[in-house]
């Protein structure tokens, strides 16, 4: 029992442990530091006013030496406070200073009591009353300044009140004795007030700490991707902005990179979103393992990730980092019952080389990533200054395209598809061209992607299809039309319904129409693509898978589509006679199409050598400059009339 009372009493006169209550210590130090000037000002003013009434009555060592020494010590403490103002020491240092404050408070209180009592013997009743007033008022002021440091407040008040009580209780003046008797009651009231206020202060600090902890957690959650635990888009752009603001001072380059997984959509379609989430988590872990110091890895959303590199790495070093990340992400992903193999495309942009603000830097990294995804999938690319002109050109095209009279400026061109086994022309592929009064003739590769991005592809597709069907009316009935559909038409039931309505309104037999869809469009939404293909086939149209071999569709997915034809991408045909890999790929694709009962059109044949190799491999349907470039409607009609259907020697 006594030990418990002792521990509790000791707690009132000691500073809390830094380990148990670090927030309380930090708050006590902060508040007490602000009170130091006021406390010492009160002490010095009251002390010098008191001693001024004793000049000539008390010895010089009491009226001069003691107050001067006290003043010097006080000024030393004030100088120390001035030098350390505004700083926030560690909890350990703050606790050490607070313990020192308790000791200074004890020494100061003992000095004031001893000095005051020493002066008492040299004064008259009025001067002795002034001493009582000084001790009471000064003590109260000091206690108020030390209110939040309960131990120091208790020490000062108990020392002053004990000296006051003992000395004035033995005084001959009745009023002094009465004050001494009243002092214990005042002491209890003051100590109780200090205790209550100290508890309120502690509770307030604890509540603030809890609120800060909740705030920090909310901030962490707001800046963290829930699935991967990586920083999210918000955090990425905040850090990117910070890095770019501080880069000039440190003379550093800041690089941003955009990363996404090629073919990731197929994982969700084939194995479900849970499997897709597993892949994304593993992607984040692999990127973090590759990331070096000062490399921030973030998930922006979906399968899109970003990295922030804050060092002076050269372009070559950035590309090496990108290559290493691509290599790690190309390793198989284990999904339990199966494994999937994907690849990643990465685009880098560097500040201050190509961008001066975070948004522009990100957009240019995204542009490099998009360009890489189109032309060099599974690799890393760096945005170059030359691409700035490409972006300006794209923006110019976008501006003109938005205000263009599409019905008057969009036309289909037609490229022949020939059956080399019989020498017969069997079809034309319709390719959209834009005849702009401002820009001249714009190739589809320059404006189709922009039209998709800004939502005009639907209108352009409708115009091209209607004009192409009108051209077919002038062709022999055995000549078919091949027409490209965008991902927009394949992934939207409404958009596909409009395409089908145009076909129904045309006098052309749907069986003469083959709609071409790309692997990219199919992989964007496999289930929707299957539905769209079935709807087109039910209407009687054929469906061809364009650019086959460049995407990430599996044989299982290919088989699930009700296709009638596949088209081998021209990238496999270039220099096929000298490229063993291309030779084998084309041979395999021709065999695959035959085994699956599908027609196979080989695109991009430009020379006699390429035509001979394709024919040697068993390819019969050929399209390319070897026969003709894309033709206007009138030129296509002339080609039909002039073509010798029994000969394979004509090259337009």
Catalytic residues: 303
Residue 514 CA to residue 501 CA, distance in Å, equals 15
Cβ(199)–Cβ(205) below 8 Å: no
Are 629 and 652 contacting, i.e. CB atoms less than 8 angstroms apart?
yes
Query: b/e map of 2-28 (b: 16 or more CB within 10 Å)?
Result: eeeeeeeeeebeebbebeebbbbbbbb
d(CA 198, CA 149): 7
Query: From CA 198, how far away is CA 12, in angstroms rounded?
Result: 10
Rounded Cα distance between 98 and 166, Å, is: 29
Nearest alpha-carbon partner for 301 in 215, 383, 366, 375:
366
DSSP helix, strand, coil percent of the chain (3-state; round to 5): 60, 15, 25
Q: How far apart are CA 477 and CA 322, in angstroms?
A: 53
C-alpha radius of gyration, the chain, whole number: 43
Q: How far is CA 361 from CA 13, 306, 365, 368, 449, in A?
A: 59, 12, 6, 11, 21
Q: How many CA atoms lie within 13 A of 556 on its CB side?
A: 6
How big is the CA angle at 87 (ends 82 and 88), to the nearest 5 degrees? 135
399, exposed or middle or buried, with CB in 10 Å at 0-12, 13-18, 19+?
exposed
Helix (H, G, I), strand (E, B) or coil at 325: helix
- 427 phi/psi in degrees, rounded to 5: -165, 165
* Pairing, β 480-484 against β 424-436: parallel
- Following DSSP, what letter does each residue of 605-630 receive, concatenated? --SHHHHHHHHHTT--EEESTTT---
Beta carbons of 496 and 534 less than 8 angstroms apart: no
CA angle 167, 173, 176 (to 5 degrees): 50
**d(C-alpha 543, C-alpha 598), whole Å:** 10
Residue with tokens 């991408």: 569
In sequence order, the β-bridge partners of residue 568 are 548, 602
Count the Cβ atoms, other than its own, within 10 Å of residue 480: 21
For 453, other C-beta atoms within 10 Å of its C-beta total: 11
Tokens of 651: 């090259």
**Ramachandran area for residue 296 (φ above 0: left; ψ -120 to 50: alpha; else beta):** beta
Q: Which residue carries 């996404």 as its tokens?
A: 260
Evaluate whether 529 touches 521 at the Cβ level (below 8 Å). yes
Q: What is the 3-state secondary structure (H, E, C) of 359-414?
A: HHHHHHHHHHHHHHHHHCCCCEEECCCHHHHHHHHHHHHHHHHHHCCHHHHEEEEE
Residue 299 to residue 310: CA distance in whole angstroms: 18
């Amino acid at each position: 029992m006594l030990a418990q009372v002792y521990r509790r009493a000791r707690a009132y006169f000691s500073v809390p442990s830094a380990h148990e209550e670090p927030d309380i210590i930090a708050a006590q130090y902060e508040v007490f530091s602000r009170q130091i000037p006021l406390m010492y000002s009160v002490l010095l003013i009251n002390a010098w006013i008191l001693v001024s009434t004793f000049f000539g009555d008390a010895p010089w060592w009491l009226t001069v030496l003691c107050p001067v020494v006290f003043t010097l010590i006080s000024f030393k403490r004030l100088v120390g406070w001035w030098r350390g103002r505004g700083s926030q020491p560690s909890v350990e240092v703050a606790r050490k200073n607070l313990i020192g404050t308790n000791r200074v408070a004890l020494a100061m209180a003992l000095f004031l009591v001893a000095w005051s009592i020493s002066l008492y013997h040299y004064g008259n009743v009025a001067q002795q009353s002034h001493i009582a007033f000084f001790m009471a008022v000064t003590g109260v002021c000091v206690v108020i300044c030390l209110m939040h440091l309960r131990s120091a407040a208790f020490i000062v008040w108990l020392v002053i009140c004990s000296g006051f009580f003992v000395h004035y209780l033995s005084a001959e003046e009745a009023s002094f004795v009465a004050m001494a008797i009243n002092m214990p009651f005042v002491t209890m009231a003051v100590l109780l007030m200090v205790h209550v206020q100290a508890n309120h202060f502690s509770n307030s600090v604890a509540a603030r700490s809890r609120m800060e902890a909740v705030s920090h957690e909310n901030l962490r959650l707001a800046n963290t991707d829930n699935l991967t635990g990586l920083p999210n888009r918000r955090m990425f752009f905040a850090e990117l902005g910070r890095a770019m603001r501080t880069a000039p001072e440190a003379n550093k380059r800041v690089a941003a990179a955009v990363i996404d997984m090629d073919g990731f959509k197929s994982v969700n379609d084939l194995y479900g979103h849970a499997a897709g989430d597993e892949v994304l988590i593993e992607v984040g872990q692999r990127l973090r393992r590759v990331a070096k110091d000062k490399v921030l890895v973030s998930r922006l959303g979906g399968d899109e990730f970003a990295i922030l590199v804050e060092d002076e790495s050269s372009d070559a070093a950035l590309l090496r980092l990108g290559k290493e990340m691509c290599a790690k992400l190309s390793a198989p992903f284990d999904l339990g019952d199966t494994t999937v193999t994907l690849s990643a495309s990465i685009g880098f942009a560097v500040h201050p080389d190509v961008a001066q603000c975070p948004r522009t830097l990100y957009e240019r990294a995204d542009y490099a990533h998009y360009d890489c995804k189109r032309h060099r999938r599974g690799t890393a690319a760096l945005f170059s200054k030359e691409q700035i002109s490409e972006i300006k050109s794209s923006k110019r095209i976008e501006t003109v395209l938005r205000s263009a009279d599409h019905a008057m400026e969009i036309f289909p061109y037609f490229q022949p598809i020939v059956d080399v086994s019989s020498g017969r022309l069997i079809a034309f592929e319709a390719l959209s061209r834009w005849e702009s009064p401002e820009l001249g003739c714009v190739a589809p590769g320059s404006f189709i992607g922009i039209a998709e991005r800004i939502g005009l592809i639907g209108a352009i597709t409708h115009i091209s299809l209607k004009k192409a069907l009108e051209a077919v009316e002038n062709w022999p009935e055995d000549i078919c039309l091949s027409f490209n559909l965008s991902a927009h038409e394949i992934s939207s039931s409404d958009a596909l319904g409009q395409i089908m309505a145009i076909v129904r309104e045309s006098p052309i037999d749907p069986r003469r129409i083959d709609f071409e869809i790309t692997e990219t469009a199919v992989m964007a939404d496999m289930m929707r693509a299957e539905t769209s293909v079935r709807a087109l086939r039910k209407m009687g149209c054929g469906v061809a898978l364009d650019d086959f071999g460049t995407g990430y569709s599996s044989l299982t997915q290919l088989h699930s589509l009700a296709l009638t034809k596949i088209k081998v991408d021209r990238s496999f045909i270039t220099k096929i006679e000298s490229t063993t890999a291309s030779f084998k790929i084309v041979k395999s694709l021709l065999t695959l199409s035959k085994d699956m009962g599908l027609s196979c059109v080989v695109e991009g044949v430009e020379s006699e050598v390429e035509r001979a190799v394709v024919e040697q491999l068993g390819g019969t349907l050929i399209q390319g400059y070897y026969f003709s470039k894309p033709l206007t409607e009138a030129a296509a009609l002339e080609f039909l009339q002039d073509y010798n259907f029994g000969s394979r020697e004509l090259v337009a």
